[in-house]
Amino acid sequence: MVKRIAIFGSTGSIGKQTLEVIAAHPDKFSAEILTAYTNEKLLIEQALAFNPNIVVIADDKKYHSVKEALAGTDIKVFAGEKSLNEVALMDNYDLMLAAIVGYAGFKPTLNAIGKGKTIALANKETLVVAGDIVMQKAFENKVPIIPVDSEHSAIFQCLVGEGRNKVEKVILTASGGPFLGKKPNFLVNVKRDHALQHPNWSMGAKVTIDSATLMNKGLEMIEAKWLFSLQPEQVQVVIHPQSIIHSMVQFEDGSIKAQMGLPDMKLPIQYAMAFPQRIHSNFPRYDFKKPSTLSFEEPDLRTFRNLALAEEALQRGGNLPCILNAANEIAVFAFLRNKIGFLDITAMVEQTMNKIPFLQHPTLNEYFESDGEARNYAASMIHM
């Protein structure tokens, strides 16, 4: 049986690599739905190459150019954010690869869970924003959520076969990003292009900046709590600059399992799509004949305070992770447009967390409201 894949966010870094995996295994996977936000040129190229059933361009101003370019095919073209949510509810696919960056991916993913679709989750914000509601809905609909983030995929892989064995803690590894070991007097002068140069991973701009500020690791801590039903104190972060060990699980007997490999996102993407099988790949292998030194150190929370803020959100719960995420998205967007400095990202997030009212047990609508309020407040701090 060929598994029909809906790639939500097909023109981003994860989406493009997912299509590479599909191209390598046409006997196992097909691209059934492709969606993009504004990159209509690449969406058209992908559609012509993979011949999906449906494409969605979220920016409805781009609808006519996509429609025209695909006029000679049987591909159905939709546009607008409403269409993203509606297409997620369709029956013509088996697995959603949820790769839309940021909060925009939340509603389509929730819709797919409601339809009982398997989720390969690359959009960590879905669980950061409203992890309690998402996991409850997945449980009610008996929906498997298979993580695509390399760290959560590593934990997931370490837990396969462990059944009811008690987890003591999970250890998320972080490369430390391009500014590992730097202090605030250096970071105050960091510019956009410098921050986008990640030493190990090739990722989209938003995730790369989050990696440089360590916010990415903070969001991953919150995601891990929900994915693996953990208490905040069971989630630890360690800096591992080589990015060979992708994360670890420590069990109650003291044994630690680690998942290793070269830093290549296609591996966790393929694992999530083929699960429970492992299928052949031509990805490069780590060579133990030429081993590098694998080192570990504590994160510097005084310099990279985003991680400390995320830990606070993890501990307090409620709508605080949602507020943290919303403020961070606005701040990173402003930094990428050279509107604010690198250290201003943290200041904006912290001020927003202090300003927006805290709710311990928000409803779904209250999560939406908190997200909107946090975005508006964070945006008001940017001096245009």
Task: Provide the CA 376 distance to its chain's centre, in angstroms.
Answer: 23
The domain of 170 spans 152-261+301-315
The answer to the question of residue 281 being in a domain is: no
Determine, yes or no, domain membership for 271: no
- Both 180 and 307 in one domain: the answer is yes
If asked whether residues 220 and 116 sit together in one domain, one would say no
The verdict on 243 and 308 lying in the same domain is yes
- Same domain, residue pair 198 and 306: yes
Mean of pLDDT values over 238-262:
97
The residue among 132, 147, 162 that closes a domain is 147
- 95 and 45 within one domain: yes
- Domain closes at, from 122, 147, 172: 147
How do residues 149-174 score in pLDDT, each as one tens digit?
A: 999 999 999 999 998 999 999 999 99
Q: pLDDT category, 103, cuts 50, 70, 90?
A: confident
Count of structural domains, the chain: 3
Does residue 44 sit in the same domain as residue 168?
A: no
Chain segment 35-71, per-residue pLDDT in tens: 999 999 999 999 999 999 999 999 999 999 999 999 9
* Strands laid side by side in the 256-260 sheet: 235-239, 167-174, 245-251, 256-260
Cross-strand pairs, 167 = 251
Residue 292 lies inside a defined structural domain of this protein: no
For residues 140 and 253, membership in a common domain is answered with: no
114-163 pLDDT tens trace: 999 999 999 888 999 999 999 999 999 999 999 999 999 999 999 999 98
* Choice among 142-156, 175-189, 256-270 with the minimum mean pLDDT: 175-189
66 occurs within a structural domain? yes
Considering only residues 267 and 205, tell me which one the structure prediction assigns the higher pLDDT. 267
What percent of the chain stands above pLDDT 90?
90
Same domain, 116 and 178: no
Q: How far apart are CA 207 and CA 178, in angstroms?
A: 13
Domain shared by 122 and 14, yes or no: yes
283, part of any domain: no
Which residue from 20, 17, 13, 47 is spatially nearest to 32, judged by alpha carbons?
Answer: 47
* 64 and 156 belong to one structural domain: no
Question: Where does a domain end: 95, 120, 147?
Answer: 147
Q: Same structural domain for residues 11 and 125? A: yes
Whether residue 288 lies inside any domain: the answer is no
Span 341-374, pLDDT tens digits: 999 999 999 999 999 999 999 999 999 999 999 9
| pLDDT at residue 198 in the model | 74
Q: Residues 132, 172: one domain?
A: no
Q: How confident is the model at residue 201 (pLDDT cuts 50, 70, 90)?
A: low
* 93 within some domain: yes
Is the confidence at residue 217, as pLDDT, over 80? yes
Is 117 part of any domain?
A: yes
**pLDDT band of 104, cuts 50, 70, 90:** confident
* CATH number of the domain within which 327 lies: 1.10.1740.10
pLDDT at 177 over 70: yes
Characterize 351-374 residue by residue with b for buried, 16 or more Cβ atoms within 10 angstroms of its Cβ, and e for exposed.
ebbeebeebeebeeebbbbbbebb
